[in-house]
Structure 1
Amino acid sequence: MLTILLQASPLGAGGLSNILFFGAIILVFYFFMIRPQQKKAKDQKKFRDELKRGMNVVTIGGLHGRLLSIDEDTVWIEVDKGIKLKFDKSAIAVEATSRVNKATAETAA
């Protein structure tokens, strides 16, 4: 037991370096994990606020369709002639035309 106590470093020896190390870890987590997620959520909210009637969209479930009407919290999507579905506004993932443009740009490069 005495050997364990003798091996322990004094409290003041590495205190400042430990604080700096943990501070650096917190900064890395913020800049590489938290900040990008906040930016992505902000961009997604902006996209959902800018939805317009007639846009071709893709839901988070992968359903493609055209927006027929937009309410405060819900949207009506036409997936085929005469087939209309009601979704929560948060279920809209991306605009289908921008997704197609990105795919063609990647294959052209």
Structure 2
Amino acid sequence: MPNFFANLPLLMGQQPGGTGAQGGSSMITMLATFALIIVIFYFLIIRPQRKKQKDTQSMLSNIRKGDRVSTIGGIRGTVHAVKESTVVLKVDDNTKIEFNKNAISAVLERREEEAPEAAEEKKE
């Protein structure tokens, strides 16, 4: 009895029996499957990554003096000054450290914006 596994590569290389139309439909099925994999890949990996990147850019561009932030190294402080690409954090009473804006991982607490009426009341 011939060994089935020895002949398996020969059997796999044979064309399926039937008409030529059957080969065309398998090509369409293969392309549809490939397109479906690309769509799933986009919605599961690429789209969420872009959304997270957009949210991070928005957070970094809206950092203001007085915000409490945390860095990627775990240092927490209050924003003392904001420059174009750097942020100066006040960590302690006499300690100020300058960081690249990209080193800010999270805004812990936003500075409260004064309402226009409250600002006018303070002046009077």
Q: Same fold (TM over 0.5)?
A: yes
Question: Cα deviation per residue 1:31-77 (whole Å; 9 max; x = unaligned)?
Answer: 11100110010011011111100100001111100001011001110
Partner of 2:46: 34
Structure 2 unaligned segments of length 5 or more: list them. Answer: 1-8, 111-124
1:15 is aligned to 2:27:
yes
Match of 1:66 among 78, 97, 100: 78
Task: Kindly state the Cα deviation for residue 80 of structure 1 after the two structures are TM-superposed.
Answer: 1.0
Q: Counterpart amino acid of 2:105?
A: A
Q: Residues 4 and 23 from structure 1, CA distance in 2 versus in 1: closer, same or farther, beyond 3 angstroms?
A: closer
| % identical equivalent positions | 34
Aligned-residue offset at 1:97: 2.5
- 1:96 CA drift (Å): 1.4
In the superposition, the TM-score normalised over structure 1's length comes to 0.80
Aligned-residue offset at 1:12: 2.9
RMSD of aligned residue pairs (Cα, Å): 1.9
Q: Which residue in the other structure is 2:100 paired with?
A: 88
- TM-score between the two structures when normalised by the length of structure 2: 0.71
Name the SS for the 2:106 alignment partner.
Answer: strand
Please give the alpha-carbon distance, in whole angstroms, between the structure 1 residues aligned to 2:85 and 2:98.
Answer: 11
C-alpha spacing 1:63/1:15, structure 2 compared with 1 (3 Å): same
